Amino acid sequence: MPNVNELRQNKFLTKSDIEPDILVTIKSFEQMNVALESQAPEEKWVVWFKELDKPLVLNMTNGMIIAAITGSDELEDAVGLQVNLYNDVNVMFQGKRTGGIRVRAVKTMADRNNPDYVGDNPPPPTDSDIPW
């Protein structure tokens, strides 16, 4: 049985497309018309991912996050970068908490080896973690 979010045909990624979180690789950036068919054209930057058929409309917040991850203000420097896409329930739209897609860096093995690391998906307990 379909989910109600599957009934709407979107040419851009929506938060329901990335639940649960998804690991993606940035393929390219492009300017596209993001306006509805009945409205005047509105050009915005989008980011394409190797693993997905639809692009993400790139807002300033996600653009700044990508720049921080790469250490560069040049979007082309992010091509090939792996990131996680997730639904941030705290995203606000028109004064209301609606949730929305956010980008975050992928945790590295060095992060996981840090004793203070607490990941989104902690590893299962080992025999030494289980009290007998």
pLDDT, residue 40, reads 93
Which sequence spans correspond to the domains of the chain? Answer: 12-32+42-116
Q: Is the pLDDT of residue 128 over 60?
A: no
pTM (predicted TM-score)? 0.73
Q: How does the average pLDDT of the chain come out, rounded?
A: 82
Strand 56-57's sheet: what is its strand order? 56-57, 43-49, 22-33, 82-88, 100-105
Query: pLDDT tens-digit profile of 57-100?
Result: 999 999 999 999 999 999 999 999 999 999 998 888 888 888 89
